[in-house]
C-alpha cells in the first residue's frame, strides 16, 4: 500500500533531453523526435518504472538560449510537436501513468485549453493533467495582439516591474479559474442518453460559468462533458514568491527548484502560507522539487558524461533547476534529504534521452524501493488517485442542491 513516506516521481520530457548536446549522443534518436513512436517509447519506459506522471514541454516559439529573443544556433534541437496532441496520441498506448502536457496561458484562450485537457482526460480514462505556463516574450511576434513583459535579464534595466509581474500571474490565475469552472459546467449525470424518452442530455445540468474579469469574459458551458477526474490535475512551475502564490492558489502540484534542504524548507513554508491565505488549507497541494539528472554507474562516470556533453556543446551546462551528476544511490540520498524538508515528490529532468530516463527506471526506482520510499505497484486508476487527491464535487451541482 502507498504510505505517506513514499515519494511521488515524475519525469519531464523535452526533445532529446535537457542537455543541449543530448541529441548528439550515440543512443539518441534525433531523426525520430517528430514521430509518435519516439514519445510512446519514452512514456512506456516511464510507466514501466511506475512513475506518477510525465510532463511534455511546449511553447509558442522555437527553443532559444535567450529567454527574450530568438537565437541563431544550428547545433541544438529546434522544433517540437504540440504537447497536448502528443499526450493524446500516447494515451491509448498506456494504462496507468499520468500525462501532463504544457499549454501556455498568455496567447491561448481558457475555453480551448479546457476542452483539450478534458478530451485528454476522456481519451486516457482519467490520467490527464495540465502544466499551466505563462508565455515567453519571444512568442509575442507570432500573435502581435499585445505586449507581454520580458523575463528578467542581468542588470536593473532588464527587470520587469513588480506590477507587470503581478499582472501576468493574475491573468494566469483567472485563466485557471475559468478552465476549472468550464470543467464543472456539466454535472456528472448531465448526459441521459435515453433513446426511449428521446432525451440525450438534461439541459438543467449544464451551467453557464458567467466569468467576467479583467482579461476574460466567458459564458460557457463547455462543449465537453465533465472529465472523468472531475478536475484534471493542474501543475505550475515557480522560482519566486509571485509564482509560488499563483501555484498555491491555483494548482494541485507546484514545481519548485530547491538549491538545498534549507531552501526547500523555506519555499515549502511560503507555499503553505499562501495556500492557507487562499482558503485552501484543508486541500492537498503537492510541492515537487525539479532536478536535472545526469547519472552514471559511478560518480566519475557521471562526471565524465557531463564533461563530454559540455565539450560537445562548447559550454558548461547550466539550468534553472539544480543539476545532480552522480549515481542513482546519490540521487536517492538527495531526494530523501529534500523530502525531510517538506517536498512530497520530484520531477526529474533527464539530461539525455533515453539514457537518463533508463537510469531512473533501472537504477533509481529499485534503490528507492530498497529504502521503502517508492511504490511496488500502481494503486489507483486515475492521476488524481495516484497523488492521493480525491475527485472534487461539482461546484454547480452543489450550489443547485
pLDDT digits (tens, 9 = 90+) for 334-350: 999 999 999 999 999 99
Backbone angles phi and psi of 218, in degrees to 5: -125, 125
Alpha helices in 62-186 (DSSP H): 83-90, 110-123, 162-183
Calculate mean pLDDT across residues 297-309: 98
Q: Is residue 356 in a domain?
A: yes
Residue 368 has pLDDT above 60, yes or no: yes
Task: Dig out the grid coordinates for 128 from the structure.
Answer: 490527464
Cα 234 versus chain centre, distance:
8
Sign of CA dihedral 275, 278, 284, 285: negative
Helix (H) or strand (E) holding 381, with range, is none
Flag whether 194 is in a domain. no
Q: How far apart are CA 88 and CA 101, in angstroms?
A: 9
> Does a structural domain hold residue 180?
no
Q: Is residue 190 part of a domain?
A: no
Domain count, the chain: 1
Measured on CA atoms in the order 280, 168, 86, 119, is the torsion positive or negative? positive
Enclosing domain of residue 92 = 8-105+115-133+224-400
Quick check: is 189 in a domain? Answer: no
Q: At 185, is the pLDDT very low, low, confident or very high (cuts 50, 70, 90)? A: very high
Average pLDDT over residues 123-134: 97
> What is residue 106's predicted lDDT score, i.e. its pLDDT?
86
Q: Residue 241 pLDDT more than 90?
A: yes
When pLDDT is averaged across residues 193-210 and rounded to a whole number, the result is 94
Residue 2 maps to a domain? no
CA distance 128 to 53: 9
CATH code, 338: 3.20.20.30
What is the pLDDT averaged over residues 177-196? 96
pTM beyond 0.85, yes or no: yes
1 inside domain:
no
**Residue 311 within any structural domain of the chain:** yes
**398 to each of 187, 212, 364, 401, how far by Cα in Å?**
10, 21, 44, 5
Amino acid at each position: 500500500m502507498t504510505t505517506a513516506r513514499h515519494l511521488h516521481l515524475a519525469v519531464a520530457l523535452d526533445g532529446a533531453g535537457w542537455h543541449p548536446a543530448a541529441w548528439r549522443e550515440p543512443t539518441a534518436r534525433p531523426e525520430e523526435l517528430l514521430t509518435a513512436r519516439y514519445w510512446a517509447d519514452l512514456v512506456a519506459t516511464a510507466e514501466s518504472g511506475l512513475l506518477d506522471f510525465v510532463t511534455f514541454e511546449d511553447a509558442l516559439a522555437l527553443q532559444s538560449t535567450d529567454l527574450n529573443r530568438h537565437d541563431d544556433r544550428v547545433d541544438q534541437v529546434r522544433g517540437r510537436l504540440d504537447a497536448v496532441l502528443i499526450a493524446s496520441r500516447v494515451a491509448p498506448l498506456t494504462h496507468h501513468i499520468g500525462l501532463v502536457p504544457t499549454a501556455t496561458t498568455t496567447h491561448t484562450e481558457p475555453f480551448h485549453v479546457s476542452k483539450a485537457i478534458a478530451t485528454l482526460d476522456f481519451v486516457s480514462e482519467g490520467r490527464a493533467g495540465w502544466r499551466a505556463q505563462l508565455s515567453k516574450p519571444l512568442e509575442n511576434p507570432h500573435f502581435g495582439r499585445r505586449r507581454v513583459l520580458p523575463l528578467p535579464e542581468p542588470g536593473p534595466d532588464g527587470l520587469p516591474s513588480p506590477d507587470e509581474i503581478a499582472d501576468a500571474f493574475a491573468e494566469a490565475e483567472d485563466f485557471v479559474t475559468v478552465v476549472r469552472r468550464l470543467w464543472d459546467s456539466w454535472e456528472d449525470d448531465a448526459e441521459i442518453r435515453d433513446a426511449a424518452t428521446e432525451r440525450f442530455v438534461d439541459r438543467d445540468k449544464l451551467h453557464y460559468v458567467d466569468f467576467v474579469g479583467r482579461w476574460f469574459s466567458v459564458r460557457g458551458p463547455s462543449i465537453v462533458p465533465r472529465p472523468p477526474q472531475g478536475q484534471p490535475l493542474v501543475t505550475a512551475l515557480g522560482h519566486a514568491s509571485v509564482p509560488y502564490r499563483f501555484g498555491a492558489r491555483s494548482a494541485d502540484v507546484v514545481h519548485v527548484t530547491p538549491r538545498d534542504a534549507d531552501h526547500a524548507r523555506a519555499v515549502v513554508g511560503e507555499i503553505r502560507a499562501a495556500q492557507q491565505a487562499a482558503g485552501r488549507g484543508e486541500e492537498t497541494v503537492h510541492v515537487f522539487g525539479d532536478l536535472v539528472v545526469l547519472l552514471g554507474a559511478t560518480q566519475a562516470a557521471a562526471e565524465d558524461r557531463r564533461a563530454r556533453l559540455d565539450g560537445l556543446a562548447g559550454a558548461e551546462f547550466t539550468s534553472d533547476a539544480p543539476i545532480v551528476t552522480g549515481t542513482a544511490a546519490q540521487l536517492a540520498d538527495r531526494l530523501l534529504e529534500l523530502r525531510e524538508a517538506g517536498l512530497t515528490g520530484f520531477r526529474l529532468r533527464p539530461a539525455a534521452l533515453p539514457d537518463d530516463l533508463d537510469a531512473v527506471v533501472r537504477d533509481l526506482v529499485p534503490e528507492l524501493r530498497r529504502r521503502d520510499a517508492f511504490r511496488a505497484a500502481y494503486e489507483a486508476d486515475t492521476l488524481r488517485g495516484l497523488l492521493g487527491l480525491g475527485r472534487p464535487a461539482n461546484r454547480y451541482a452543489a450550489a443547485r442542491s
